[in-house]
Amino acid sequence: MPNPPAQDSARPHAVSDDELVERWLAAHARTHAASAETQRAYRREVRRFRAWVGKSLRYVTYGDVNRFVAHLDQEVRLEPSSVARAVAALRSLFDFALPEGVMRQGNPTHMVALPTRSRRPPPSLLGSRQVWALLEASAELSLRDRLLVLSVLVLGCRPNEAGSLRWGDFVRDSEDRLGCVIAVGEKGERTVAVPGELASLFFAWRQELKMSGPWDRFDRRYLFGPRGTRPLSQGSVRRLVSAACRRLLGERAPTLHLLRLSGASLALLAGQQPSQLASDWDLTLQTVTGLQRISRSLAESTPLHIWPQA
């Protein structure tokens, strides 16, 4: 995604990044009685981040900070305590910038998970290469089975949610982006973004079924149930998805629950906001924080364009 153009020259009254950093350091020294060494360390960490991110501080996103932490952890291979110091400096800077009216969004360091010494992910969770292999190999499945697998892996559907999907659950927002409204029992509903590749497969499935009438929010027919009149049972979804994964991955095939969490960890790696993922996928923040740490260990430079980018 290209960076937005620099705005400082177009807005003479705007605070420049250099001026913002100097004002922040001065305020930090007064407020926290910080030592000269701490001030030098904070200045050094912010300088390193600015050189790495290559954009104005006002345009920095959560995804930028998350990738920077992964860079420090996996490429620079800093100790976790050193990464924590870098994030602490950035968090302090952006906390200062918010009331200054500089930031376009909230503090981008919010909910960024710090690395731990353990770099091995649980063996039962799929790594990014395995997920990508599964996505590619899923073309061998029938379109129905493929969509069931992707509903779990990409949309975060539980078995009962995947089986109960209706055509009218797909909606478009004000920017014409497709989303899927998923019922969550008595908790209400959640809406998940649908990547363009997956939307095309759903459209192909509708054509294969030779469904008449418009695809709009008033279409209450089920995607996968018999003749669209009844939902596909939870047991059937589990059986079909598990069989499809075993066929494609053999003994490496995860349980349906771990397949769902594998998708969530890869969505985080692709830049999904943790708080948004927790809401969209109906996960606890504790689970998402754990997945943040795991997702960095699963990163293997694998393309993840099927997930929405930050």
Q: Among 74, 96, 117, identify where a domain stops.
A: 117
CA angle 72, 78, 81 (to 5 degrees): 105
Radius of gyration over every alpha carbon of the chain, rounded to an integer in angstroms: 22
Strand partners, 183: 189
Identify whether residues 246 and 139 lie together within a single domain. yes
For residue range 183-235, list pLDDT tens digits in order: 765 557 888 888 888 888 998 999 999 888 877 888 899 999 888 889 999 99
In total, how many domains does the chain have? 2
What does 100-142 look like in DSSP terms, one character per residue? TT--SSS-TTTTPPPP-S--PPPTTSPPHHHHHHHHHHGGGS-
Q: Among 117, 138, 159, identify where a domain stops.
A: 117
Identify whether residues 93 and 160 lie together within a single domain. no
Q: In what order do the strands lie in the sheet containing 178-183?
A: 170-172, 178-183, 189-193
Task: Identify the pLDDT of residue 226.
Answer: 84
Task: Identify the pLDDT of residue 296.
Answer: 61
Phi, psi of 154 (to 5 degrees): -105, -35
Q: Strand 170-172 and strand 178-183: pairing? A: antiparallel
Token pair of 154 as six digits:
């990409």
Task: Identify the pLDDT of residue 99.
Answer: 83
Rounded CA-CA distance 98/300 in Å is 34
Domain assignment present for residue 309? The answer is no
Range of the domain at 51: 1-117
Domain assignment present for residue 174? The answer is yes
39 close to 26: Cβ distance less than 8 angstroms? no
118: burial class by Cβ within 10 Å (0-12, 13-18, 19+)? exposed
Q: Among 87, 117, 147, identify where a domain stops.
A: 117
Identify whether residues 168 and 240 lie together within a single domain. yes
Per-residue pLDDT tens, the chain, 310 aa: give them: 334 434 333 343 467 889 999 999 998 888 876 677 888 889 999 999 999 999 999 889 888 998 999 899 888 888 888 898 999 999 999 999 888 777 777 888 888 888 776 545 455 678 777 777 788 888 899 999 999 999 998 888 999 899 999 999 988 877 777 888 887 655 578 888 888 888 889 989 999 998 888 778 888 999 998 888 899 999 999 999 999 998 988 877 888 888 888 888 878 877 778 888 888 888 888 888 878 776 665 554 333 444 443 3
Domain assignment present for residue 238? The answer is yes
Which has the closest alpha carbon to 56: 20, 107, 13?
A: 20
